[in-house]
A and B are shown apart, each in its own frame.
Chain A
Amino acid sequence: MPSFAPGDDPGPDFGALLRRVGLAVAPPATPLGPELAITHGTTVVATRYADGVVMAGDRRATSGNFISHRSIEKVFPADRWSGVAIAGAAGPAMEMVKSFQLQLEHYEKVEGSALSLEGKANQLSQMVRNHLPAAMQGLAVVPLFAGYDLRREAGRLFQYDVTGGRYEEDDYATSGSGGLHAATVVKLGYRDGMSRIEAIDLVLKAIITAADEDSATGGPDPARGIWPVVATIAVEGFERVDDAELAERYATLTPAGRSSS
């Protein structure tokens, strides 16, 4: 059982605890060559709506020109009132999500109260910055973070760059290879105070368009029953939209909405 002297205690920081007990992962010493086909996750989107935030991610992972997975998930609950979506090297991204979730839970248990949303966003910023040496060797991870701020009673969203730069966005944010196309769709379709359904439709269209233009992004796949991961975060907390509802929304989208009209 880990114990530390009073002046030497890692406090509620799980990352510091991992380093102290020798479980932290060192970044690769040299750039990873092309012969190591690294799996990459691609397009994620987040946008605000009337009650909070909606996050979405496609399900495809690629390594080079191969599709390595058709149904990976890129949108995760970070804790009850926040979510994190990842794009970039899939292995380190999953690890970052796991560490981030644990960090929030660990802090809450050690301190007896949860971090503020601002505090959570800053934590993720530090994790991305600490990951920079690995990003320089070709393992970049660029997350989105969104949550419902219980103190301000509003949904908030943040995007990051590889150096850990943290940028709060007012309306929407995207990341990943198809992020540019997705951002255009959300930008054109966004308006203040959208309903939940309108927001879900908008992020679905964004993912569909990104999949149309970017080979590394996978669109909805009704034949296999693979749907993007879409989640809403409002005062009730993080709730994943189930596949049946997504299928229903997809069916109502006009043919123009389903393609990159």
Chain B
Amino acid sequence: MSMPFYVAPEQVMKDRADYARKGIARGRALVAIQCAEGILLCAENPSSTLRKIAEIYDRIAFGGVGKYNEFDQMRIAGVRHADLKGYSFSREDVDARSLANQYAQILGQIFTHEMKPMEVEILVAEVGTEPAGDQIFHLLYDGTVIDESAYAVLGGDAEAISARVDASLDGTPDLTTGLALAASALAGPERTLGAADLEVAVLDRMSVRRCFRRLDDADVSERLAAAGAASAAAPDVASPDAESSG
């Protein structure tokens, strides 16, 4: 029996991280923004059946980017975790932090022990009754958890999109402004994204129980048009730089 070649652990980890990053970079991005009405989740997704954004529990939503089968498996595991916890204890005891920690455990375990890391990034968002009570957790392929505030960007080209969101975000926007901001940040200066290219959902702050609600194409078009009209009327308020006016 031949001995395998020695590979330094640093190299193994680096190779896995590169592999996962490349897989994630190929996919389209997802943005979550804290709005006055709730947490807006907006993904670039031309499919209207294969979802990137989904409901986990009363006030908790899920977003996934990267390899569809892998993040969908994580989504279902999250729904099961939340429903079992709510059944065993109470609906109030289901929280985003514990779910994010569970995801981190699994992603970390797979990253260090399996041949192939998961090529996914995951978002776990929980809406509070006030914007200050919102929680947004961003999980990386290796199990790293980032506690985000105001907004989060996941997936390919995340840095450029983050910079665009950061440049145009001013305080806590209303839902329509937030949506226009997310759409233009996802599109970048050279493209425009319409309702058909976007998957949009909101965790509604004021709902009594199940807060997750999808916005259909008609609603998204209407809001994008309304925000466009508002920014045309007052260009210096809604588009502080040339980049976000596309």
Contacts and interface: CB of A to CB of B under 8 A. Distances in A.
Interface of A: 1-3, 14, 17-18, 21, 23, 98, 102, 105-106, 109-110, 112
Nearest to B99: A1
Given A106-B79, A110-B76, A110-B79, A2 B55 contact: no
Nearest to B79: A109
Contact of A23 (B51, B56, B87): B87
Interface residues of chain A: helix, strand, loop or mixed (majority): helix
Contacts of A21: 84
Nearest to B84: A21
B51 A1 contact: no
Interface in B48-84: 51, 54-56, 73, 76-81, 83-84
B51 A17 contact: no
B77 A14 contact: no
Given A2-B80, A18-B87, A109-B55, 15 more contacts: A1-B78, A1-B105, A3-B106, A17-B80, A17-B83, A17-B84, A18-B84, A23-B84, A105-B83, A106-B83, A109-B54, A109-B56, A110-B79, A112-B51, A112-B54
A69 to B, nearest CB: 21
Contact of A3 (B55, B77, B87): B77
Interface residues of B, number: 21
A2 B84 contact: yes
Contact of A1 (B54, B81, B86, B87): B81
Interface of B: 51, 54-56, 73, 76-81, 83-84, 86-88, 102-103, 105-106, 210
B88 A23 contact: yes
A1 B77 contact: yes
A187 B51 CA distance: 48
B83 A1 contact: no
Contacts of A17: 80, 83-84
B51 A14 contact: no
Contacts of B55: 109
Nearest to A17: B80
A226 B118 CA distance: 56
* 6 nearest A-B residue pairs (beta carbon): A1-B102, A1-B81, A109-B79, A2-B80, A1-B77, A106-B83
Contacts of A106: 79, 83
Contacts of B56: 109
B132 to A, nearest CB: 27
A102 B106 contact: no
B23 to A, nearest CB: 20
A2 B103 CA distance: 11
Nearest to B58: A105
A131 to B, nearest CB: 17
Contacts of B103: 1
Contacts of A14: 83
